[in-house]
C-alpha cells in the first residue's frame, strides 16, 4: 500500500446496457481525508459509490482498500473491512426501533471482526451511545416512520457509523434540509472526521461542499473532469462550463 492511502480505485468502469455510467474513474483517498464529490444529477456519483462499497460490480478497473484488492469482495465484507456508507434514500429497517436499527450493524458487522466480542448488553449500550451522539437519544424506542426528515438523515449516518468505518461515503445526506439542519449534519460529519474517519462527501449544496472539502472531485457524464484543491477546482473553466455554469 502506498503510504497513507486508504482507498485506491483505478480505471473503474460501469455500463448499464450500452450506456457508460462510469468511464475509467481513478480515485485515491488518504486516511482521514475529507473529499467532496460533486457533479450534475446522473453524472455517476452514486454509481461510483456503489462500485466502491460493493453494491454493484464494475465492468472494469480495480478497487483496493487498506492495502488489499477488494474486487469480488461482497458489500457486507467490505463493511467489515471498514467501508461505511449512507444511502441517498435512507434505508432503515422500517419495522425495527431506532435502537435495533443500530444494534444490527454492531452485531453483524462490528462484532464479526476479529477480536470483537460485545455481549448483547454491550451492543445495546453502544447503540444507545451512538443514537445520543447523533441527537436521537430521546427516540431510541421509536420507529423510523416517527422521524422528521433531518432525524432520518441522522439515523442513516448513525447506521453507517455503527459499522465503525475508517472510510465513510456520505451520499447526499443534506438533500431537502434547511440551512440550520445542513449545519447540524456538517457538524456531525466534521466530528466524525476529527475521530479519524476519511469521508467522501457527495453533495449539491456548494456552501457545504466548500466548507467541508479538503479536496474536490468532479464527475460529469461518467468522466472525472477535475480533482484538486476546492478553490482551484471551482475556478477551473472546464468545471464552470460543464457543471457550475450549467
Ligand atoms: N441500475 C441502473 N440501471 C440503469 N441505469 C442506471 C442504474 N443506476 C444508475 N443508472 C444511470 O446511470 C447514470 C448515473 O446515475 P447515478 O450514479 O445515480 O448519478 P448521480 O448519483 O451522480 O446522480 C444515470 O444516467 C442513471 O440513470
Ligand atoms: Mg446520486
Q: Give the range of the structural domain holding residue 52, as residue numbers without chain letter.
A: 5-82+165-244
Q: DSSP class of residue 199?
A: E
Q: Is the pLDDT of residue 141 over 60?
A: yes
How many beta carbons lie within 10 A of that of residue 104, not counting itself? 17
Q: What atom in ligand 1 is closest to the CA of residue 50? A: 17
Asked if 176 and 219 sit in the same domain, the reply is yes
CB of 42 closer than 6 angstroms to any ligand 1 atom: yes
Of 145, 162, 179, the one marking the end of a domain is 162
Atom 1, ligand 1: residue with shortest CA distance: 16
Task: Please enumerate in sequence order all residues whose Cβ is within 8 A of that of 113, keeping only pairs 6 or more positions apart, or say none.
Answer: 80
Instruction: Please tell me the number of the ligand nearest to residue 45's CA.
Output: 1
Measured from the alpha carbon of residue 50, the closest ligand is 1
Number of C-beta neighbours around residue 82 at 10 A: 20
Condensed to tens digits (0 to 9), the pLDDT of residues 174-202 reads 999 999 999 999 999 999 999 999 999 99
Give CA–CA dist 157/134, Å, rounded.
8
Q: How would residue 2 be classed by pLDDT, with cut points 50, 70 and 90?
A: low
* 92 within some domain: no
How many domains, the chain? 2
- What is the pLDDT, as a whole number, of residue 246? 56
Arithmetic mean of pLDDT, 34-46:
97
Whole-number pLDDT of residue 204: 93
Q: Is the CB of 89 under 6 A from ligand 1?
A: no
**Per-residue confidence (pLDDT) for residue 75, from 0 to 100:** 96
Dist. CA 41 → ligand 2 center (Å):
7
Question: Do 141 and 32 reside in the same domain of the chain?
Answer: no
Specify if 153 maps to a domain.
yes
For residue 32, what is its C-alpha cell?
482521514
Amino acid at each position: 500500500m502506498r503510504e497513507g492511502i486508504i482507498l485506491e480505485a483505478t480505471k473503474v468502469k460501469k455500463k448499464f446496457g450500452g450506456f457508460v455510467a462510469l468511464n475509467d474513474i481513478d480515485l485515491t483517498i488518504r486516511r482521514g481525508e475529507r473529499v467532496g464529490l460533486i457533479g450534475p444529477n446522473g453524472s455517476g456519483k452514486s454509481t461510483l459509490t456503489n462500485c466502491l462499497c460493493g453494491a454493484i460490480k464494475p465492468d472494469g478497473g480495480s478497487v483496493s482498500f487498506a492495502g488489499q484488492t477488494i474486487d469480488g469482495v461482497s458489500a457486507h465484507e467490505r463493511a467489515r473491512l471498514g467501508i461505511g456508507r449512507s444511502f441517498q434514500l435512507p434505508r432503515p429497517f422500517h419495522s425495527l426501533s431506532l435502537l435495533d436499527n443500530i444494534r444490527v450493524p454492531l452485531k453483524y458487522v462490528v462484532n464479526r471482526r476479529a477480536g470483537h466480542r460485545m455481549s448483547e448488553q454491550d451492543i445495546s449500550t453502544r447503540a444507545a451511545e451512538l443514537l445520543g451522539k447523533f441527537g436521537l437519544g430521546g427516540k431510541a424506542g421509536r420507529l423510523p416512520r416517527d422521524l422528521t426528515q433531518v432525524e432520518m438523515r441522522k439515523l442513516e449516518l448513525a447506521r453507517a457509523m455503527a459499522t465503525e468505518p475508517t472510510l465513510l461515503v456520505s451520499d447526499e445526506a443534506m438533500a431537502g434540509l434547511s440551512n440550520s439542519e445542513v449545519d447540524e449534519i456538517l457538524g456531525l460529519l466534521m466530528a466524525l472526521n476529527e475521530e479519524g474517519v476519511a469521508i467522501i462527501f457527495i453533495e449539491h449544496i456548494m456552501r457545504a461542499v466548500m466548507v467541508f472539502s479538503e479536496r474536490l472531485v468532479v464527475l460529469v457524464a461518467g468522466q472525472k473532469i477535475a480533482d484538486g484543491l476546492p478553490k482551484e477546482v471551482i475556478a477551473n473553466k472546464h468545471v464552470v462550463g460543464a457543471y457550475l455554469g450549467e
